[in-house]
Amino acid sequence: MTNDQVDDVVNFLRRLPQALGKEVEIGLGMPCHYDLETGIQICHQIEPYRPLFSWKSGGPVTMWNPCCVFGNNTRVPIAAGENIYTRYGFRPFLEKQALSIIQPDFTRRADCSKA
């Protein structure tokens, strides 16, 4: 993402409480096209707005990145897990305390061909 695009995301989140009211909790979903550095950069900039969580779909926070560099580099609570299918898949995240919220998706299956 360009700096202007990052600024657009941050400014949008900054204005939401004014539009929705402070009693509304905001979670920020980050699509998988955000790279690791962009996700960290955005989270650092939105920390003052205290989002309920940042949810990362694919990309930096996945079962293929058990170190969870993303979750360990921001104070914004990180939610993930819709593509993790067993307790063993969540284990590295829990051991490293890299996720604040685990989000298993019970409607998905690891092997959809058997559905």
Digits of tens for pLDDT over the chain (115 positions)? 889 999 998 999 899 888 998 888 988 887 666 777 888 888 899 999 899 888 765 544 554 454 456 667 788 888 888 777 778 888 887 888 878 888 887 776 655 544 4
Residue type, 36: L
Alpha-carbon distance of 3 to 65, in angstroms, equals 25
Two tokens at 4? Answer: 């202007």
Q: Name the CATH superfamily, with its identifier, for domain 25-109.
A: Enolase-like C-terminal domain (3.20.20.120)
Per-residue confidence (pLDDT) for residue 59, from 0 to 100: 47
Residue bearing tokens 């307790």:
87
Residue type, 59: G
- Treating both helix axes as pointing N-terminal to C-terminal, what angle do 3-20 and 36-46 enclose, rounded to 10 degrees? 40
CB-based contacts of 86, cutoff 8 Å, min separation 6? 110
pTM: 0.72
DSSP strand pairing (27-30 vs 78-80): unpaired
Per-residue confidence (pLDDT) for residue 3, from 0 to 100: 92
Backbone torsions φ then ψ of 72, nearest 5 degrees: -90, 0
Domain boundaries, the chain: 25-109
Per-residue confidence (pLDDT) for residue 12, from 0 to 100: 92
